[in-house]
Amino acid sequence: MKRYQNWAVVTSLLASLLGVQQSAFAFDPNFIISDAEMTNVGAMNMAQIRDFLQKGYLGSFRTADYQGRLRTAADIIWRSAKQNGLNPQVLLVLLQKEQSLISASQPTQKQLDWATGYGVCDSCSMNDPALARWQGFGKQVNSAAMQFTAGYLDDIKNTGSTSGGFGPGISVVVNGLKVTPVNAATAALYSYTPHLHGNENFAKLWQGWFGKSYPNGTLLKTATDPIVWVLKNGERREIATESVLHSRYNPQLIIEVSEQTIATYPEGSKISWPNYSLLITEVGTRYLFANDSLRLISEADYKLIGYSEDELVQVKAKDLLDYSIGRPIQASAGVADRLLTLPGTTSMYYISAGERQLIVDPIIASLKFPGRNPEQATASIVEQYREIGPLLLPEGTLLKTAGDPAVYVISEGQARPIASEATFLSLGYNFGNIVTVSREGLKVHKLGLPVN
């Protein structure tokens, strides 16, 4: 029996209410939502909840809350979530999963009285007088919110599991399938609804209504699969090996998400080569692969530079279509990959393939080339290289500037402001990964659209 034991804007409802495409949904029974999502109290404010409810009966519904005060449904949901430290989106999904109340235009009194299914078990009768104390929309919503936080989550924190035996890392057979919740939120959802079908419905509704759209450059993985994906142009691309991951990305920026979140992105080609790999296609075209760009090298220049034929990696031309083509490399320009600084100044440059890029903030160099120290060079040496645009922060970097609370994420070379703390938390970002850069370090990036 379900009992108490001891920055997101929704713009439309019915268009997405039950509209998750089957091809884009994959239920992971071990991970339904993250702990951060379950307790993200600020995910929606009262006005956003009210707008979300407008397409159904609850949009204009007023009734008593758990204390007997007359309030709107949106007010009851918002207050119950805030008072109990629960994401109001959890309650919205629960109302639909249990009694279809979000989409219902003319719900029955029974649907309203047992809105979240709280206190009702498979063998229970809703007419049982013992259940009367939990009857009513306001009591149902508040009791469910309290059950998740002061009940299940507190039990897991204090003892490792709920009274039903669900807890992170604990295997339980549910409807004939062994389920091992990987986090407290998933264990709590099984404690509330100990059935696969009910939790699959919850996950499907959650993904359809509140599924996350991550910026390009984001690193994603599930809690149960070692594969790391990077998002590029709306696709997820598998990072083939650990060496590729560490040569091109910061593993600390990996965000753990559900399998259904991964499945919403179509799969693109693998990212198979470490930075500065030398590639040759089936027709003999040679490239230096550097910073997600392909630099053409003629066979003659390849030999003049002194590269070995053994260094070439055989690839197919079709596997290179996802990468931009940079300026060709000529032997006369050199291919040195160097960090240079001018004595007595703070000026720093990155030198590669005959070109130089100004580094306006040492933080950029430390993130792009961890552990590398710049060499001292004279201005005449630096000036022999062709100047191109300044060096930018790596994709996926979270940053801010001193004295300004705004947080940005680097995506496709742009600094995209994250709309709110609630958005930051709901996407699974970690405050410990935010780096502070100078105003100049921020300004070298174009300002992108906000991440909502």
DSSP secondary structure, 252-314, as one string: GG-EE--HHHHHTSPB---B---TTEEEE-TT--EEEEETTEEEEE-HHHHHHHT--GGGEEE
92: in domain: yes
Judge whether 152 lies within some domain.
Answer: yes
Whether 314 and 431 share a structural domain? no
Which pair of tokens denotes residue 44? 């929606």
Residue 234 has pLDDT above 90, yes or no: no
Q: Which of 30-39, 179-188, 381-390 has the highest mean pLDDT?
A: 179-188
Within a domain: 31? no
Q: 157-164 contacts: CB < 8 A, separation 24 or more?
A: 157/184, 161/187, 162/5, 162/187, 162/188, 162/191, 163/5, 163/191, 164/190, 164/191, 164/194
Q: Find all residues with CB under 8 Å of 204, minimum gap 6, and list them.
A: 20, 25, 27, 260
Coil/strand/helix, residue 350: strand
- Between CA 192 and CA 172 the distance in angstroms is 14
Asked if residue 201 and residue 80 are part of one domain, the reply reads yes
Q: What is the DSSP letter of 132?
A: G
Same domain, 319 and 366: no
Average pLDDT over residues 223-242: 90
Structure confidence by residue, pLDDT tens digits, 423-447: 898 888 999 999 999 999 999 999 9
Same domain for 77 and 203, yes or no, is yes
CB of 145 within 8 A of CB of 2?
no
Query: 186 with 36: CB under 8 angstroms?
Result: no
Report the range of poorest mean pLDDT among 1-5, 92-96, 205-209.
1-5
pLDDT digits (tens, 9 = 90+) for 270-324: 888 887 889 999 999 999 887 778 889 888 888 887 788 888 999 888 888 878 8
Alpha-carbon gap, residue 46 to 160, rounded angstroms: 33
| 322's tokens | 């996802």
CATH assignment of the domain containing 284? 3.30.2390.20
Cα separation, 73 vs 90, whole angstroms: 15
Domain boundary (333, 358, 379) is at 333
Q: Which amino acid is at 299?
A: E
Does 366 reside within a domain? yes
Residue 314 lies in a domain: yes
Residues 364 and 441 in one domain: no
Contact 267, 282 (CB under 8 A): no
User: Do both 301 and 408 map to the same domain?
Assistant: no
Minimum mean pLDDT range among 5-14, 15-24, 143-152, 373-382: 5-14
pLDDT at 39 > cutoff 70:
yes
Measured distance CA(408)–CA(447) in Å, rounded? 9
Which of 1-10, 166-175, 213-222, 225-234 has the lowest average pLDDT?
A: 1-10
> What is the pLDDT at residue 333?
58
The span from the CA of 408 to the CA of 448, in Å, is 9
Expressed as residue numbers, the domain containing 374 is 338-387
What CA–CA distances, in Å, run from 417 to 371, 406, 411, 420? 28, 7, 10, 9
Q: Do residues 79 and 204 share a domain?
A: yes
Q: Are residues 295 and 403 in the same domain?
A: no
Q: What does the alpha-carbon distance between residue 171 and residue 194 come to, in Å, rounded to a whole number?
A: 13
Asked if 77 and 200 sit in the same domain, the reply is: yes
**Average pLDDT estimate for 151-155:** 97
288 inside domain = yes
Q: Is the pLDDT of residue 26 over 90?
A: no
124-151: average pLDDT: 87
Q: What is the count of structural domains for the chain? A: 4
Domain boundary among 151, 174, 209: 209
One domain, residues 160 and 305? no
Q: Clarify whether residues 75 and 148 are in a common domain.
A: yes
pLDDT bracket for residue 195 (50, 70, 90): very high
Average pLDDT value for the chain: 87
Packing angle, helices 88-99 and 73-84, rounded to 10:
120
d(CA 371, CA 106): 64
Q: Show Cβ contacts of residue 404 under 8 Å, excluding neighbours closer than 6 positions.
A: none
Give every CB contact of residue 34 below 8 A, 6+ residues apart in sequence. Answer: 183, 185, 256, 257, 258, 428
Amino acid sitting at position 345:
T
Q: In whole angstroms, what separates CA 161 from the centre of its chain?
A: 27
Q: What average pLDDT does this structure show over 163-170?
A: 95
Q: pLDDT band at 91, cuts 50/70/90?
A: very high
Residue range 324-365, pLDDT digits in tens: 888 788 766 555 678 899 988 888 999 887 788 999 999 999
Answer yes or no: are the C-beta atoms of 440 and 360 closer than 8 Å.
yes
Do the Cβ atoms of 144 and 94 come closer than 8 Å? yes
**pLDDT single digits (tens) 276-289:** 889 999 999 999 88
Q: Are 179 and 29 in contact (CB under 8 A)?
A: yes
How far apart (Å, rounded) are the C-alpha atoms in residues 119 and 164? Answer: 14
In a domain, 50, yes or no: yes
The answer as to whether 53 is a domain residue is: yes
d(CA 206, CA 200) in angstroms, rounded, equals 10
157 shares a domain with 115: yes
> Rounded CA gap, 170 and 187, in Å?
9
Spatial separation of the C-alpha atoms in residues 441 and 437, rounded to whole Å: 6
452 three-class SS:
coil
Quick one: tokens of 186? Answer: 């998933």
In this prediction, residue 109 has a pLDDT band, given cuts at 50, 70 and 90, of: very high
Which run of H or E residues covers position 93? Answer: helix 88-99
Task: Work out the pLDDT band at 12, boundaries 50, 70, 90.
Answer: very low
pLDDT of the residue at 231:
93
Quick one: tokens of 361? 């903030």
